[in-house]
Amino acid sequence: MNPEEAMERTFAIIKPDAVERNVTGKVLAMIEEGGFKIVGMKKIRLSKCQAEGFYYVHKERPFFGDLCAFMSRGPVIALVLEKENAIADWRGLMGATNPANAEEGTIRKALGVSIEENTVHGSDSPESASYEIPYFFNQLELV
Ligand code: RTP
Ligand code: MG
């Protein structure tokens, strides 16, 4: 297999809590130091409806309404990250959903505020990445 084929892509969001606190640069630095290539990046403000579509897998969860209100309350940075084993490695660099349980060295440990305002999103499987990447980016925007 050539090196190109070994590469994997995942989808990431720098959430509104981080954009509001002006720490997007810190998150991007941790991404680059973690060995990820940024192959797509845009700043966007989701409507409530767009947030609901993005997180539809959680529509029956008790936190769904709050989550979609949070994700649409201000701009986010949407990213496509590339690396070998990108999906699992990005989940590792993000840390546990609840920053209180996140390990040292993770983004959520360093910058997360609460179980909801946890600074970053990451695809949890290849299937999720295949839904989430084209939700935000077209082919021409991935370089
Ligand atoms: P994400 O999808 O954003 O990468 O986060 P995750 O996989 O670590 O967590 P998930 O279970 O998929 O939950 C999605 C997002 O919903 C918010 N949440 N709030 N109030 C709560 O109990 C609660 N639980 C989850 C968080 O913003 C979480 O990242
Ligand atoms: Mg998730």
CA of 120 to the centre of ligand 1 (A): 10
State yes or no: ipTM above 0.90: yes
pLDDT tens digits along 16-72: 999 999 999 999 999 999 999 999 999 999 999 999 999 999 999 999 999 999 999
Catalytic residue among 27, 30, 39, 121: 121
CA–centroid distance, residue 115 to ligand 1 (Å): 7
Cβ(93)–Cβ(30) below 8 Å? yes
Whether 4 shows a pLDDT value over 60: the answer reads: no
- Please state the pTM of the whole predicted model: 0.96
φ and ψ at residue 131, rounded to 5 degrees = -85, -45
Write out the H or E segment, with its range, that includes residue 93: helix 86-94
Q: Is 80 helix (H, G, I), strand (E, B) or coil?
A: strand
